[in-house]
Structure 1
Amino acid sequence: MAALVTVWVASPDTRSERRFDLRTTVAELKAKLELITGIPPENQHITLCDTEQSTQPLAVLSDDSKALGAYFVRDWQWLKIEDTNPASTWTGRLNDMTGVEKFELTEEQYAARQGSSTLPSAPHPSAYTLVSDSVLAYKQRHKVGRFAPKDALPEPVSAAHLNIPLDARCQVESAEEGFSKRGTVRFVGPTKFGGGTGVWVGVEYDEPIGKNDGSVNGERYFECNMKYGVFVRPERVEVGDFPVEEINFDDEEI
């Protein structure tokens, strides 16, 4: 039976939980880490640490021919990957938004936006399709969200009545068939967003497929890297034995 170890993998742009075979060589590990971190194997400097805050590494994985087991890697330790040549890659710049010009609207300008553009190639006026609109206008028109009739609002759910413990592994319902969003529960309770009604579940995804870093509108509910956090309603969360889905590659695949 293969000896597996579950560790945290951290790089300038990523942070995730991974499972590796202790017989995996450092060279093979680097090939897997490139797909996770985006750092080429030749640029990877890998250190083994007890915690994320550790400043003194337990070991430096410098011998490509050695297996992970030779470095005595244990569960829940940290593999920290540094890019020795960041100038040749995008390392550290994927989350840098300082150079991005923001498009902003005042509340009055946003409220005034209405859908009015149509596809010019439509064969008949009745076939015209609305292609420009604002979410606010849509909600007002269809009476959803805060514009829904008061008697149509669902009864708020108390966090005490939910069987969703913190730090539990979970899977979030996805609209895309065959695509599961797995992660760890980091928050359960009421929030200041969403009209302040009901309970939200904060999840830290295993991959950067989320919406935030555990904070919304300047209010922090839990800590995680940007794009790993998301808040969903409890009915979309299933708690259970959902291990991190490891990316495996056969020798015949490139």
Structure 2
Amino acid sequence: MVLNIWVTSPDTHSERRIDPLITVEQLKIKLEPITGILATNQRLTLFNSDVDSTPVAQLSDDSKQLGFYGLRDWQVIKVEDANPFSLTGQLSDVSQVEKFELSEAEYAKRSDTVLAYKQLHKVGRFAPPAPPPSSDPSKIQTTVEIPLNSRCEVESREEGFHKRGVVRFVGPTKFGKGVWVGVEYDEPMGKNDGSVQGERYFSCRLNYGAFVRPEKVKVGDYPVEELDLDDEEI
């Protein structure tokens, strides 16, 4: 039979499976590498639980088997170091460790810090400002990858609402800078018939055509769906 026993010491707390037929001396030898306390310096006390302050027994006779002390499942064996000069317990006491402190000025002078890395590689707040949008017509995007005659869905100002149709035109126009997408809607939700300001870009029925920016268009296998009007297009 093997018992589940909690073993605690100044630096450890763990569950161990212990044979009650071994002697106290044999147990101390097993606990030495676990607790860091020499077997000859160990003082073992048996408790019913971690919160119990009244000991059940002192395991003081090295020749006795553990079963002699009535060891039961989930009891606690507390291991203390009888050596007054031992460092046991001090290794886990961080209050005795001197705290290293560095002023902001000293930290800024170091070259092996996160701050120095960010400064060197221009990361975060040290990154150069983004250039303003170009007003040069020659630098404005004039092509996008939106296939003609593909089904599409167009975003609307109304949240959760979209318009569906077919892409009929993709490219620059005379009425606005950059790329525009001409869409023939499934329903009369547009603003034109494919022409704007006397210039024709594609042909469709009146009020079925509209021109929108590419970022508002999603291409996909969208079925025909009845939608409402919107004032977003040109």
TM-score interval, smaller chain: 0.3 to 0.5
Higher alpha-carbon Rg? 2
- The TM-score with structure 1 as length reference comes to 0.42
